[in-house]
């Protein structure tokens, strides 16, 4: 494998890790509650603004500001589910989708009102000289932030799978995602499970926004592309599959990077989506989805 190709794959893993984080949060919310959260990216964006405010304007330690931003996002997700979605849950899923669209517009409007249109800057969470790997006739350059993004994504993925598989709340989440009514009859606190799913999903959105902020800068539409790519990755992997969200995100990131390098930067998203459309024509349920599975 050539050094150039390896470099593109490394860059694809970086982008794909962010896509996977976004896709994982979207799938957790959808798999548990049956709702696609269209405000997902804007919730992460608002948390990034909160982080910027505590770090730059109030002078807090960067990592403490990040913790505050993610915590804010978790509570935003929990409160959104409890007070806006739960009261109308048994009326209409379309109504819940409209509420998430309303949340998107509200958060964007509030961000513009409070922080204006100016782009804000958050630094890399880890700095230093990039890693330089000697490949003989060339060098492979990997920034410390890229390594951090991949490591954090890997840790979050394994931590989430472990929690959902081996804890009581994780078991409850899996039960509710299969059959809400039966879970309720068995004593599962369904509302608590929904709140947990929304809190975890929104927290992942905030983490993705903060990790992407040094490159994208903090601005109202900073998560628009990431949300689209996260949705695409979730569909590619299978919207009912948590592992599929990760596989879809990583695969999408690598495909886009290779298309940008060897075909066209301008067409990288369009051509990557064409590849995915072809894959979905062959396997409509996604790479790791199950065609026979449906929400009851």
Q: Report how far residue 2's alpha carbon sits from residue 276's, in angstroms, rounded to the nearest whole number.
A: 25
Where do the domains of the chain lie, and which CATH numbers do they carry? 3-282 (1.10.3470)
Per-position DSSP letters for 8-29, written without gaps between them: HHHHHHHHHHHHHHHHHHHHHH
The model's pLDDT over 235-253, given as tens digits with 9 standing for 90+, comes to 889 888 899 999 999 999 9
The model's pLDDT over 155-178, given as tens digits with 9 standing for 90+, comes to 999 999 999 889 998 999 989 988
8-state DSSP, 186: T
- How far apart are the two ends of the chain, measured CA to CA in Å? 47
Q: Give the mean pLDDT of 201-221.
A: 95
The model's pLDDT over 103-122, given as tens digits with 9 standing for 90+, comes to 999 999 999 999 998 899 99
- In the predicted structure, residue 134 carries a pLDDT above the cut 80: no
């Amino acid at each position: 494998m050539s050094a150039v190709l390896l470099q593109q794959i490394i860059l694809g893993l970086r982008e794909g890790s962010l896509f996977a984080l976004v896709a994982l949060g979207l799938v957790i919310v959808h798999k548990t509650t049956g709702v696609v959260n269209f405000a997902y990216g804007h919730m992460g964006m608002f948390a990034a603004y909160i982080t910027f405010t505590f770090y730059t304007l109030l002078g807090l330690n960067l990592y403490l500001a990040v913790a505050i931003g993610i915590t804010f996002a978790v509570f935003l997700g929990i409160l959104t589910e409890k007070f806006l979605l739960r009261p109308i849950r048994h009326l209409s899923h379309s109504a819940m989708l409209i509420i998430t669209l309303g949340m998107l517009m509200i958060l964007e409007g509030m961000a513009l009102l409070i922080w204006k249109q100016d782009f804000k800057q958050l630094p890399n969470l880890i700095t230093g000289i990039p890693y330089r790997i000697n490949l003989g006739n060339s060098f492979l350059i990997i920034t410390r932030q890229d390594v951090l993004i991949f490591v954090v994504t890997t840790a979050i993925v394994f931590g989430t799978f472990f929690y959902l598989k081996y804890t009581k709340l994780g078991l409850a989440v899996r039960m509710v995602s299969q059959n809400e009514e039966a879970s309720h009859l068995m004593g599962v606190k369904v509302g608590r499970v929904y709140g947990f799913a929304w809190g975890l999903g929104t927290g992942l959105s905030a983490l993705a926004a903060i990790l992407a902020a040094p490159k994208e800068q903090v601005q109202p539409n900073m998560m628009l592309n990431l949300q689209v790519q996260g949705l695409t990755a979730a569909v590619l992997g299978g919207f009912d599959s948590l592992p599929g969200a990760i596989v879809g995100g990583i695969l999408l990131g690598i495909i886009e990077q290779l298309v940008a390098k060897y075909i066209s930067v301008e067409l990288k998203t369009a051509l990557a989506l064409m590849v995915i459309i072809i894959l979905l024509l062959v396997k409509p349920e996604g790479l790791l989805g199950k065609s026979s599975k449906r929400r009851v």
